[in-house]
Amino acid sequence: MPIQSIMRGLCLPIAVIAALALPLSVVAQGNPLGLNAEEIRLILRHGPWPAPWTRDVSNRVSGKREAIAFGEQLFFEQRLSATGTVSCASCHMPEKNWADGRKLGTAIGEVDRNTPSVLNVRHQRWFGWDGANDTLWSQSVRPMLDAREMGASERHVAQLVRVDAELACRYRKAFAQAPALDDETLMIDLGKALAAFQETLVTGRTPFDDFRDAVMRNDWKAAASFPQNALRGARLFMGKGNCSLCHFGPDFTNGEFHEIGIPIIKKSGGIDWGRYQGIKMLRASRFNLLGAYNDDKAKSSAQSTRFIDLAPQSFEQFKAPSLRNVALSAPYMHNGHLTTLRDVVRHYSVIDVTLLHQAHVYAGDVYAEAVPTDTVLQPLNLSDQEISDVVAFLESLTERKPGFRRRPLPACR
**Selection from 206, 246, 254 nearest residue 226 by Cα:** 206
CB of 228 to ligand HEC, least distance (A): 18
Residue from the set 144, 167, 187, 279 that interacts with ligand HEC by CB under 6 A: 144
Contact pattern for ligand HEC over residues 24 through 53, marking x by CB under 6 A = ------------------------------
Is 110 in a helix, a strand, or coil?
strand
Among 79, 204, 374, 402, binds ligand HEC (CB under 6 A): 374
Measured distance CA(310)–CA(267) in Å, rounded: 26
Least CB distance to ligand HEC at residue 334 (A): 3
- Give the nearest distance from C-beta 56 to ligand HEC in angstroms: 12
Taking CB under 6 A as the criterion, the residue among 40, 67, 150, 157 binding ligand HEC is: 150
- Rank residues 9 and 109 by Cβ distance to ligand HEC and give the closer one: 109
H helices of 217-274, in order, are 220-223, 228-238
DSSP H/E element including 52: none
115 binds ligand HEC (CB under 6 A): yes
Nearer to ligand HEC, 279 or 394 (CB): 394
Question: Please, which of residues 250-279 interact with ligand HEC by CB under 6 A?
Answer: 258, 260, 262
Say if residue 50 is preceded by a cis peptide, omega within 30 of 0: yes
What is the C-alpha to C-alpha distance for residues 267 and 226, in angstroms, rounded to an integer? 41
Least separation in angstroms between residue 289's CB and ligand HEC is 15
Q: Is 396 in the site for ligand HEC (CB under 6 A)?
A: no
* 128 in contact with ligand HEC (CB under 6 A): yes
Strand partners for 185: none
Residues from 192 through 251 that contact ligand HEC (CB under 6 A):
194, 198, 237, 241-243, 245-247
β 257-258/360-362 pair status: unpaired
Cα→Cα distances 210→162, 329, 393, Å: 48, 22, 13
Spell out a b/e string for 112-142, using b for 16 or more CB atoms within 10 Å of the CB, else e.
bbbbbbbbbbbbbebbbbbbbbbbbbbbbbb
Among 67, 326, 328, 412, binds ligand HEC (CB under 6 A): 326
Using the rule CB under 6 A, give the single segment among 19-27, 36-44, 215-223, 333-341 that binds ligand HEC.
333-341
The one-letter amino acid at 389: D
Which segments of 219-310 does DSSP mark as H helices, in order?
Answer: 220-223, 228-238, 275-284, 303-306
Residue 174 lies near ligand HEC (rule: CB under 6 A): no
Shortest Å distance, C-beta 382 to ligand HEC: 8
Torsion of CA 161, 166, 169, 174, to 10 degrees: -80
As beta bridge partners, residue 108 has: none
* Residue among 302 and 392 whose Cβ is closer to ligand HEC: 392
Q: Residues touching ligand HEC: how many (CB under 6 A)?
A: 56
3-state secondary structure at position 253: coil
Interaction of residue 149 with ligand HEC, rule CB under 6 A: yes
- Using CB under 6 A as the binding rule, whether residue 160 contacts ligand HEC is answered as no
Which one, 220 or 227, has the nearer CB to ligand HEC?
Answer: 227
Q: Give backbone dihedrals phi and psi of 127, rounded to 5 degrees, phi first.
A: -120, 150
3-class secondary-structure state, position 288: coil
Cα–Cα distance, 229 to 384 (Å, whole number):
12
Pick the stretch among 111-119, 156-164, 167-175, 355-363 that binds ligand HEC (CB under 6 A). Answer: 111-119
Q: Which one of 10-18, 35-43, 321-329, 395-403 is the stretch in contact with ligand HEC (CB under 6 A)?
A: 321-329
Nearer to ligand HEC, 218 or 373 (CB): 373
Task: Give the residue, chosen from 59, 157, 348, 412, that forms a contact with ligand HEC under the rule CB under 6 A.
Answer: 348
d(CA 196, CA 42): 32
Q: Work out how close the CB of 359 gets to ligand HEC at its nearest, in angstroms, rounded to a whole number.
A: 19
Identified binder of ligand HEC from the candidate list 43, 88, 158, 238, rule CB under 6 A = 88
Q: How far is CA 5 from CA 8, 11, 16, 190, in A?
A: 5, 9, 17, 72
- Which residues lie below 8 Å from residue 367, measured CB to CB, with a gap of 6+? 312, 315, 359, 360, 361
Interstrand relation of 365-367 and 360-362 (parallel, antiparallel or unpaired): antiparallel
CB of 412 within 8 A of CB of 170? Answer: yes
Residues that bind ligand HEC (CB under 6 A): 86, 88, 90-92, 105-107, 111, 113, 115-116, 118, 121, 124, 127-130, 136, 139-140, 143-144, 149-150, 194, 198, 237, 241-243, 245-247, 258, 260, 262, 318, 320-321, 323, 326, 329, 332-334, 341, 344-345, 348, 374, 376-377, 390, 394
